[in-house]
Copies of this chain bind each other. A is one copy, B any other.
């Protein structure tokens, strides 16, 4: 029986692995992969370099783990947002408003780690491109569900749903870029308003 409370054999960790991964994620998120050095990660986490290597492997391996962890968390967040948004066109409106709230504060202004990384490393990718593809695919599924449930039964064709999903998705990517590019709250607000107006024509 290897229960949850079974302590391992040697010296116990002095740091919480999850908490450290959160800090490292934040650093990569804000500065990008290339501009974040191992020394930066050591400083930010307080964990010695060798411990980072023995725990998470090389910088590439660490980053892969972080991306995968981030992907799961991000998708969980979007699923919850879609759920909270509720059905109907009003649901999409609510979804966009929740997005607005996220983008103007905290980590929101750094864009999406997966999108950023996919863009940063696509020209020289060791193998991170798959994460970006997976992200777009999963996000698209959730957005499609949000949009699908906003259409009165029988009225919408699959084609229309798909087109709206593609537009909405591309809009979200562009919004991420706008935010990361340093847009202020007004500009973000304007852009979201523009999408709200478009969504209104879907009634």
Binding site for B on A (CB under 8 A): 29-32, 34-35, 110-111, 115-116, 118-124, 129, 132-133, 136, 160, 162-167, 169-178, 180-183, 190-191, 193-195, 197-198, 201
Contacts and interface: CB of A to CB of B under 8 A. Distances in A.
Given A115-B177, A129-B182, A32 B123 contact: yes
A173 B163 contact: no
Given A133-B181, A173-B177, A120 B123 contact: no
The 6 A-B residue pairs with the shortest CB-CB distance in the complex, in nearest-first order: A174-B174, A34-B34, A173-B174, A170-B174, A166-B194, A167-B194
Contacts of A191: 166-167, 169-170
Contact of A180 (B122, B178, B181): B122
A25 B195 CA distance: 34
Given A198-B198, A201-B201, A182 B32 contact: no
A113 B111 CA distance: 18
A122 B182 contact: yes
A162 B190 CA distance: 9
A194 B119 contact: no
| Most B C-beta atoms less than 10 A away, residue of A136, A164, A174 | A174
A195 to B, nearest CB: 6
